[in-house]
Amino acid sequence: MSNFFIATGVVLCLFMLLALYRTIFGPTIIDRMMGANIIGTKTTVLLIIIGTIYGRVDMFVDIALAYAMLNFIVTIAASRYFAHHKNIRAEGYGVLHYTPTKEADK
């Protein structure tokens, strides 16, 4: 049974890798927020899975509950931020595409 949970955990980590790709390279900030949110959700599940493997779920449920309750605050903060600032893309958004402009040097 423990093997089943370990396999589930590894698969969830692999899914996290996919979400992490979107978080890092996602062209707009919305993509990044989505990716980070998915990572947060998977973290909640992984916490319980790790607790099940250790046989002490009662110790780990509290942390998962804290994530479940607090994880959406950032999303609301972001939506408020974009109500003030309309541009989704910052100048020089990408990791690979960033070239400093002349004005940025000053």
| Dihedral angle computed from the Cα positions of residues 17, 20, 21 and 22, in that order, rounded to the nearest 10 degrees | 130
Q: Is 1 in the site for other proteins (CB under 8 A)?
A: no
Choose among 82, 69, 92, 68: nearest CA to 33.
Answer: 82
Q: Does 18 bind other proteins (CB under 8 A)?
A: no
Helix axes 73-84, 29-54, angle to 10 degrees: 170
What Å distances lie between residue 78 and 3, 30, 82, 86, CA to CA? 39, 9, 6, 11
| Closer residue to other proteins in complex, CB, 1/100 | 100
Contact 64, 47 (CB under 8 A): yes
Rounded Cα–Cα distance for residues 89 and 27 (Å): 8
Least CB distance to other proteins at residue 50 (A): 5
Segment 63 to 82, residues that bind other proteins, using CB under 8 A: 63, 65-67, 69-71, 73-74, 76-81
Applying CB under 8 A, what is the total number of residues that bind other proteins? 57
Beta carbon of residue 89, minimum distance to other proteins (angstroms, whole number) = 8
Distance CA 102, CA 93 (A): 16
Q: Is residue 57 close enough to count as binding other proteins by CB under 8 A?
A: no
Instruction: Indicate whether 100 belongs to the interface with other proteins (CB under 8 A).
Output: yes
Q: Which residues bind other proteins (CB under 8 A)?
A: 6, 9-10, 13-14, 16-17, 20, 23-24, 26, 29, 32-33, 35-36, 39-40, 43, 46-47, 50-51, 53-54, 58-60, 62-63, 65-67, 69-71, 73-74, 76-81, 83-85, 90-95, 98, 100, 104-105
